[in-house]
Structure 1
Amino acid sequence: MVVSLSSGYRVQNVPFPAKSIGVCKCVATPQEQETVFKTKVSRNANMGKLQAGYLFPEIARRRNAHLLKYPDAKVISLGIGDTTEPIPEVITSAMAKAFSFLPNVVNHMACPPEKVIVVMELNKPLRAAIASTFYGNFGIEEDDIFISDGAKCDISRLQVVFGSNVTMAVQDPSYPAYVDSSVIMGQTGEFQKDVEKYANIEYMRCTADNGFFPDLAKVARTDIIFFCSPNNPTGAAATREQLTQLVQLAKKNGSIIVYDSAYALYMSDDNPRSIFEIPGAREVAIETSSFSKYAGFTGVRLGWTVVPKQLLFSDGFPVAKDFNRIVCTCFNGASNVAQAGALACLSPEGLEAIYEVIGFYKENTDIIVDTFNSLGFKVYGGKNAPYVWVHFPGQSSWDVFSEILEKTHVVTTPGSGFGPGGEGFIRVSAFGHRENILEACRRFKQLYK
């Protein structure tokens, strides 16, 4: 007797033996259940409030999935704001020289127990250079400046200083690190899906109708106000009059402004490049900045934060002293090599090279703006920041992101990732090689012609 067996694979004819073999019993082998060990440590409940993943890793995940689907596609990334042009030679040569000193036992300095004093002393030439270059006429002194590994890192350290019992406000839309760090610290309530907002955060709506500057008369009082100008993602830059209003609001409410000036050197308009250009700001503001977008230091990591000695908590204790304590607890200081590069950035030759690179990215921005304008889109930003903010009215930002990626193999950033006010927009970054910018714009024209 021949029985045909099929198990979804190839069908085989299996002959049974002629001799009787009695009753055949099929016994399933019991599967051993893997025992998962769990500690008795509770998870930080605030982590559970975060929605999905952080914006930019999520974009990278979708980009990688797209590459698996289209392995031969030439994908162009205009999403994450990573610089692409080489760091100028005048800067890299200074870094190489600093690196060459490290094997020399005389020049090498480990981090001793008294690192609080030593780190500040090592930073002294760079702090002095930053103070004179960016804050010379604003009353900011070198000991008001803290050197770090980037503005984003300092944003989280500042949140640790403020603690969980403060209230905070953000521009909407704005850089997602402000909100996410606030959620992690426990400053917020739960995420409200119906309005796409966290409870207990004041979202200061910034739209085309208000020139991307919030109506401060409608802003509820909060302890902390995060503000970025030129803004990421809209590219809007606040005027002197607008920043004066912001400082006055902070003074009236007894609030602290955390001012992110990471794109200040991209400013084309005659707007303030620092919050400390505004009278009274030293009593209510902190400023954080970075060399990432100026000199291509996104991988080198070097930034700074200004905490004026005039800025005091409600009990009169200086904010700078608490920030210094957090920095010395959580951070061992920027590397000597990165600091050498930053010092070179602030030399006359370094500044000239930086402005040349910034000029290159601004030309990229003009190309992107002209492309979307020619296709009939409403386009914002681009003049004072390396980002172009493009409106797709009535459409989901993630849907637009997906359509562009699927049909053009170009990565952008969905506006809703920057807050509910970003829905219906995408952000296009001008950080890219010129040939990639031109090719991406050719594809945009092909898609939307």
Structure 2
Amino acid sequence: MASSLQLSTPPHFSSKRSSLFADGGLKITRSSKLFLPSKSDVLVCRCVATSSTEKTVYTTKVPRNANIAKLNAGYLFPEISRRRSAHMLKYPDAQVISLGIGDTTEPIPDVITSAMATRSHELSTFEGYSGYGAEQGDKKLRGAIASTYYGDLGIEESDIFISDGAKCDISRLQLVFGANVRIAVQDPTYPAYVDSGVIMGQTGSFQKDVEKYGNIEYMRCNPDNGFFPDLSTVPRTDIIFFCSPNNPTGSAASRKQLTQLVQFAKDNGSIIIYDSAYAMYISDDSPRSIFEIPGAKEVALEISSFSKYAGFTGVRLGWTAIPKELLFSDGLPVAKDFNRIVCTSFNGASNIAQAGGLACLSSEGLKAMGDVVGFYKENTEIIVDTFTSLGFNVYGGKNAPYVWVHFPGRSSWDVFAEILEKTHVVTTPGSGFGPGGEGFVRVSAFGHRENILEASKRLKQLFK
């Protein structure tokens, strides 16, 4: 960066023996004298910044996806991470405990990692090496999922599609159904359903006055209706996203409620995208799969994951089950189009991760996963007892690793901020899951036991 000196009025210099300016050059001798200018000859200097490297910003002629521009704000969980990082900068010596994002913390059972290690080493041999696998997933794993989780429900190996996680399959399913469908979601709901719909172009703009996107049907779920929507007030939509046990409320739909949902979809010719990612946490007789409901195969598909069962949040492995009976209005199978999307945009899940998935479904693996789930359920009981003892209305926790705590009359983000500031504990503001979550915070049971106990102690000190 250079500076140029600009003179508004030439200065007056005087010398008895020599001229300062001669032949265009500046000459200064020892006998030269500098005289201050008169008021009328005031020297004004302006420093103008110039740069020989300054460039005009180049832009392409490609317009931004207008649907992404409609997104109201950053995705919920990165925003929480950002605020957590800012808090840690403010309090560098604080022990921050994260009960916000639903990320697992306990080690993956050895029976599972041993299988992945063996498969990994096999890739170093000529006999064991393999490249691309089937986009739909390993046949043995697909069969094991069908027999383990769907038993005699009529779901076959060929109905299962292995993926790199349920969240990824949500976006692939959005590609299948396209922009010209209307969706319904529970309110509150997992944000990925809504945000992926916005990006796909299924929605209108965000309406700040009601905290909703246009062209989405928000099915309110609250304590008054047992966290199951009043379907008599819900208009027809093409797609219904439904999560049970629910994230974030922790509530599991009963058999009677899911029977109503299936009938509602049939009456309207809708398709249910059923998210059962927390089914292993169910402690009562609530259905673990939508396919336990008669007639569901004609109106529903199901996504699930090993993330919260085996600690695969970083390994990435899930699946989608699409029955052959599920058809579009023209009679073509939904599974056929999903297969086309998978073959176009996905080269199949990691063969190492799939080896781990197969180990998960062995008798030893199922027991190990059950132990991990049981550990998190014990954490959940500690959190429930903590808030209950403080006089709060607490929901969830019985069938899910999430506790939904009510702070009536208060902003969810304000409660989040107060808990973080005063206890150094990260939670999740309920309003981040939709307008129906305002006044609640979600507390995750994923954490080391000592952290859960310490967080409980701090919360009791804050709210006693």
User: Structure 1 residue 36 and structure 2 residue 51: aligned?
Assistant: no
Between 1:18-27 and 1:277-286, the stretch displaced more is: 18-27
User: Structure 1 residue 239 and structure 2 residue 258: aligned?
Assistant: no
CA distance in 2, matches of 1:178, 1:119: 24
Look up the SS of the partner of 2:139 in the other structure: helix
Quote the residue 1:20 is aligned against: 34
Which of the numbers 42, 49, 54 marks the counterpart of 2:70?
49
User: Structure 1 residue 321 and structure 2 residue 336: aligned?
Assistant: yes
The one-letter code sitting in structure 1 at the alignment partner of 2:327 is L
Which of the numbers 354, 371, 374 marks the counterpart of 2:369?
354
Q: Give 1 or 2 for the bigger CA radius of gyration.
A: 2
For the 8 Å contact 2:135–2:342, the answer to whether it is kept is no
Q: Deviations over 1:67-92 (max 9, x none)?
A: 11001000000000000000001111
Which of the numbers 273, 282, 301 marks the counterpart of 1:286?
301
Between 1:201-210 and 1:26-35, the stretch displaced more is: 26-35
User: Structure 1 residue 405 and structure 2 residue 423: aligned?
Assistant: no
Look up the SS of the partner of 2:224 in the other structure: coil
Quote the residue 2:168 is aligned against: 153
Quote the residue 1:367 is aligned against: 382
Between 1:98-107 and 1:150-159, the stretch displaced more is: 98-107
User: Structure 1 residue 383 and structure 2 residue 402: aligned?
Assistant: no
The one-letter code sitting in structure 2 at the alignment partner of 1:185 is M
> By how many angstroms is 1:19 displaced?
5.2
The one-letter code sitting in structure 2 at the alignment partner of 1:314 is S
- Runs of 4+ aligned structure 1 residues displaced above 6 Å come to none
Q: Deviations over 1:332-360 (max 9, x none)?
A: 11111100100000000000000101000
* TM-score, scaled relative to structure 2: 0.90
User: Structure 1 residue 87 and structure 2 residue 108: aligned?
Assistant: yes
CA distance in 1, matches of 2:187, 2:195: 14
The one-letter code sitting in structure 2 at the alignment partner of 1:27 is R
For the 8 Å contact 2:360–2:369, the answer to whether it is kept is yes
The one-letter code sitting in structure 1 at the alignment partner of 2:73 is A
For the 8 Å contact 2:262–2:299, the answer to whether it is kept is yes
Q: 5 Å matches for 1:307-346? A: 307-346=322-361
Quote the residue 1:5 is aligned against: none
User: Structure 1 residue 126 and structure 2 residue 141: aligned?
Assistant: yes
CA distance in 1, matches of 2:126, 2:77: 41
CA distance in 2, matches of 1:40, 1:419: 35
Q: Deviations over 1:157-215 (max 9, x none)?
A: 00000000000000000100000000000000011000000010000000000000000
The one-letter code sitting in structure 2 at the alignment partner of 1:28 is C
CA distance in 1, matches of 2:194, 2:152: 32
Which of the numbers 275, 284, 296 marks the counterpart of 1:269?
284
Which of the numbers 234, 240, 248 marks the counterpart of 1:219?
234
* Count of aligned pairs between the two proteins: 426
Which of the numbers 186, 197, 206 marks the counterpart of 2:221?
206
Look up the SS of the partner of 2:330 in the other structure: coil
Query: What RMSD over aligned residues (CA atoms) do the two structures have, in Å?
Result: 1.2
Look up the SS of the partner of 1:27 in the other structure: strand
CA distance in 1, matches of 2:186, 2:297: 21
Q: Percent identity?
A: 77
Between 1:102-111 and 1:307-316, the stretch displaced more is: 102-111
CA distance in 2, matches of 1:183, 1:317: 26
Which of the numbers 87, 94, 111 marks the counterpart of 1:66?
87
Q: Deviations over 1:252-294 (max 9, x none)?
A: 1000000000000000110100000001011100100000000
CA distance in 1, matches of 2:385, 2:183: 37
Q: Deviations over 1:388-410 (max 9, x none)?
A: 00000000000000000000000
Q: Deviations over 1:23-68 (max 9, x none)?
A: 6552322345641111000111001110110000000000000011
Look up the SS of the partner of 1:389 in the other structure: strand
Gap regions ≥5 residues in structure 2: 1-31, 38-42
The one-letter code sitting in structure 2 at the alignment partner of 1:199 is G
> By how many angstroms is 1:227 displaced?
0.1
Quote the residue 1:14 is aligned against: none
The one-letter code sitting in structure 1 at the alignment partner of 2:177 is F
Gap regions ≥5 residues in structure 1: 1-17
For the 8 Å contact 2:430–2:438, the answer to whether it is kept is yes
The one-letter code sitting in structure 2 at the alignment partner of 1:247 is V
User: Structure 1 residue 306 and structure 2 residue 313: aligned?
Assistant: no
User: Structure 1 residue 295 and structure 2 residue 314: aligned?
Assistant: no
The one-letter code sitting in structure 1 at the alignment partner of 2:122 is F
> By how many angstroms is 1:324 displaced?
0.3
